[in-house]
Every structure is written in structure tokens, then in C-alpha cells.
């Protein structure tokens, strides 16, 4: 708002001559300058010209928080925002702990499954295996599974995952390979539905992935792979590195490599507190050693049939693992983003409170000057 202030000497006299009023204005000007300097509010040249020249028109530029009431309201709003962001950080930390416990509970089953699978692969490495999940095809059409989050306020987590997916789509199309998408997470689904690449299926990503959800996803992928709808399935997920770092990664999950399904090592992330701050401890875990079967062991079923039944379970476990890792990355990104928002709100609150104190001091100074001017005028 632009305030226009016009002073005129043509107003009716009140018993005081114009010369006396002008000298009074000059004395008030110097008094105001000294008082304002004491309160760190110097009088500007425009204000001096307005005080000296009665017909000078002042146009003040709008300033942030023009009145004390507006500043007080803004401080209250920033305080409420800081409480919300701090609470969201604590909620994300609690969810990270639950995700960590879910990973620890599922580890014994996944380790046993990997050991049996590795032993069967070693037992059958000299045989010709007729297993669909191990058959390599010429990639003419690829299904790209992109994992994002359902909600925002998690920093660059969703944006990085989407950028990685778009880069992979562009790379595959440059090689003459058709691409179909399976999106996990509402953010990725909303984004890619407006793009050229067809979306085969959109699945929401909860913040507590379960084995049932992983089974539904793997069943959809396996049935389409067996039907020949596509020749390869690639997974775009976010690798959890630390509380402030996560990297989008690409991994081929179908078909599996018969030379070892590439039993990979893993890391367990344990959240703890140190000096009042949240911290993450990494515990590296080596790949499970293959189960040793005696050469003369007789299987009730053919080892190839057992392998054909175990591979889908292994695929379910890998999908569940990537979902849990992506969710952990999302929650860690949200914690970092909410911590940064809380720090920014604290800084903004301090600056607004200082500005409000200056405005209050300026108002008190103005009231004192008006009282002194009124007393002098009455005494004269």
C-alpha cells in the first residue's frame, strides 16, 4: 500500500504563527533524529525533506510487516509451521524404525532361501536347465518398474527417481527397444500418465511394504513375462546410503542370471541417538553361503522342479527388499527436509521478532515525541 502524505500551511491558524510552527518542526526533527538514532532507526532524507518542506509529498514503499500486528501474526504463523515440521520429522523417524524392524524380521527367511537357492544352482550347474526365469531373450520390449513415493515433502527423492526413469527410457528407445512402465507410488503414476510412454499398471506404494504387496507385484510381472508381453524387467529404485544421501539405481530382476543369481551382500541400517541427535549405524552382511547338498542326496522331486518353485519366492523377496529400501530412502529424505524446514522457520522467526521489536521501539519513540510536542505546544 502506498501512503501519500501532504502537508499544507494553509490550514486555519490556532494562535501560533507560521514561522513559529516551522521552527517547532525543525526542533522536533532534530529531536526525532536523535531519538531514532538511539533506537537504531535513523531518519531518512525523505523524512527530513517532508518535515522541512510543508508541501513535500512523501510516497513510502511497502515494507514487509508494516505494522506490529502483522508482524506478530507472522511470528505466530512461523511458530506453528515450525511445530508441524518438527512433528513430521519425528513421525518419519518412527516410521524408519518400523521399516528397520520389518527388515530384521524378514532376514532369516530370505537368508535361508538364498542358501537353498545357491546350493541348488551349484548342484545343477552342469545340467541344461529348462526354467523360464533363467532363459535369456533378445530384448525387444522392456518393462520398467519405477518406485516413487505416494506423498511429497521429502526433498528430491521423487524428482530423482523420475529423472532416473526418464533417462533409462530415453536410453532404451535410442537402442530401438520398446518400453512399458509399471509405476509404484502415486507421484510417479501421476507424472507418467501425462507422458508418451504407456503405463501398464499403477500401484500405490505404502510406507510399510508387506510380503503380500510384493507377491502381487511379482505375480503381475511373472505372468506378463511368461506370456511374452516383454522380454526383460528392470527395476528403478532408490538405494539407501545414509540419512542425507540416497542414489537412484537400476537393476534387472527378470530374467535371472543362472551363474549366480548374483547373491549380493547387504547392509542393515540401525537408527540410534547420539548427543540428542539421530544417527545411523551401518552393519554390512555378507552374502549367504550356498547350502551344501551331499552328492548322493535323493530329492523327492527333481532339483529343477524345486528350483522352478523357489525362484518366484526369491523374486518376491528381492522386490520386497527394494520396496523397503526405497521407503527407507523416502523417509530419510523427509526427515532431512523437515529438519531443514524447521531450521529455516527458526531463523525466520528470529528475524521477524527482531523486526517486530524495532517496530515496537519506533512506535514508542513516536508516541513519546507526540507527548513532548503536545506539552511544548501547550506550554507555549
Segment 315-372, tens digit of pLDDT: 888 898 889 889 988 988 998 899 999 999 999 999 999 999 998 998 899 899 999 9
List of long-range contacts for 70-76, beta carbons under 8 Å, 24+ apart: 71/352, 71/355, 71/356, 71/359, 72/356, 74/352, 75/349, 75/352, 75/353, 75/356
Q: Kindly give the pairing relationship between strand 232-242 and strand 245-254.
A: antiparallel
> Where does the pLDDT of residue 201 fall: very low under 50, low under 70, confident under 90, or very high at 90 and above?
very high
Residue 146 · residue 162 · CB < 8 Å: yes
Check residue 365 and give its pLDDT.
Answer: 92
> Where does the pLDDT of residue 64 fall: very low under 50, low under 70, confident under 90, or very high at 90 and above?
very low
Check residue 276 and give its pLDDT.
Answer: 58
Alpha helices (runs of H) in the chain, residue ranges in sequence order: 18-38, 45-52, 68-123, 157-174, 186-192, 211-226, 303-379
Residue 46 has pLDDT above 60, yes or no: no
Check residue 14 and give its pLDDT.
Answer: 40
Check residue 345 and give its pLDDT.
Answer: 94
Q: Considering 154, 236, 319, 337, which one is annotated as catalytic?
A: 154
> How does pLDDT run across 252-269, given as a tens digit for each residue?
888 876 444 444 555 556
Query: Does residue 71 or residue 28 have the better pLDDT?
Result: 71
Is 205 among the residues known to form the active site? no
Residue 50 has pLDDT above 60, yes or no: no
What is the average per-residue pLDDT within 226-253?
88
> How does pLDDT run across 72-92, given as a tens digit for each residue?
899 999 999 999 999 998 898
Amino acid at each position: 500500500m502506498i501512503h501519500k502524505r501532504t502537508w499544507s500551511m494553509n490550514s486555519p491558524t490556532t494562535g501560533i504563527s507560521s514561522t513559529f510552527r516551522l521552527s517547532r518542526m525543525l526542533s522536533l526533527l532534530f529531536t526525532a533524529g536523535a531519538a531514532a538514532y538511539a533506537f537504531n532507526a535513523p531518519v531518512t532524507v525523505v523524512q527530513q525533506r517532508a518535515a522541512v518542506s510543508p508541501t513535500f509529498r512523501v510516497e513510502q514503499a511497502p515494507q514487509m510487516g508494516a505494522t506490529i500486528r502483522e508482524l506478530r501474526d507472522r511470528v505466530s504463523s512461523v511458530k506453528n509451521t515450525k511445530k508441524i515440521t518438527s512433528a513430521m520429522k519425528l513421525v518419519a523417524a518412527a516410521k524408519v524404525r518400523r521399516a528397520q524392524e520389518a527388515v530384521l524380521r524378514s532376514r532369516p527367511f530370505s537368508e535361508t532361501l538364498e542358501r537353498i537357492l545357491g546350493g541348488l544352482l551349484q548342484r545343477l550347474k552342469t545340467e541344461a536347465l529348462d526354467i523360464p526365469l533363467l532363459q535369456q531373450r533378445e530384448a525387444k520390449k522392456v518393462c520398467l518398474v519405477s518406485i516413487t513415493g505416494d506423498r511429497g515433502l521429502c526433498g528430491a527423492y521423487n524428482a530423482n527417481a523420475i529423472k532416473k526413469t526418464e533417462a533409462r527410457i530415453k536410453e532404451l528407445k535410442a537402442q530401438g527397444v520398446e518400453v512399458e512402465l509399471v509405476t509404484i507410488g502415486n507421484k510417479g503414476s501421476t507424472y507418467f500418465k501425462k507422458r508418451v510412454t504407456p503405463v501398464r499398471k499403477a500401484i500405490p506404494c505404502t510406507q510399510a511394504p508387506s510380503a503380500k504387496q510384493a507377491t502381487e507385484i511379482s505375480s503381475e510381472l511373472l505372468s506378463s513375462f511368461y506370456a511374452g508381453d516383454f522380454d526383460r524387467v528392470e527395476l528403478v529404485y532408490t538405494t539407501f546410503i545414509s540419512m542425507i544421501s540416497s542414489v537412484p539405481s537400476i537393476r534387472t530382476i527378470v530374467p535371472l542370471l543362472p551363474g549366480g543369481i548374483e547373491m549380493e551382500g547387504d547392509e542393515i541400517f540401525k537408527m540410534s541417538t547420539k548427543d540428542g541427535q539421530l544417527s545411523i549405524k551401518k552393519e554390512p552382511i555378507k552374502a549367504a553361503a550356498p547350502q551344501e547338498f551331499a552328492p548322493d542326496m535323493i530329492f523327492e522331486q527333481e532339483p529343477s522342479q524345486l528350483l522352478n518353485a523357489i525362484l518366484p519366492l526369491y523374486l518376491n523377496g528381492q522386490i520386497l527388499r527394494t520396496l523397503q529400501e526405497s521407503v527407507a530412502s523416502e523417509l530419510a529424505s523427509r526427515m532431512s527436509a523437515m529438519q531443514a524446514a524447521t531450521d529455516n522457520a527458526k531463523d525466520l522467526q528470529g528475524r521477524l521478532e527482531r523486526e517486530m521489536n524495532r517496530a515496537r521501539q519506533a512506535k514508542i519513540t513516536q508516541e513519546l515525541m507526540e507527548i513532548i510536542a503536545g506539552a511544548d505546544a501547550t506550554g507555549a
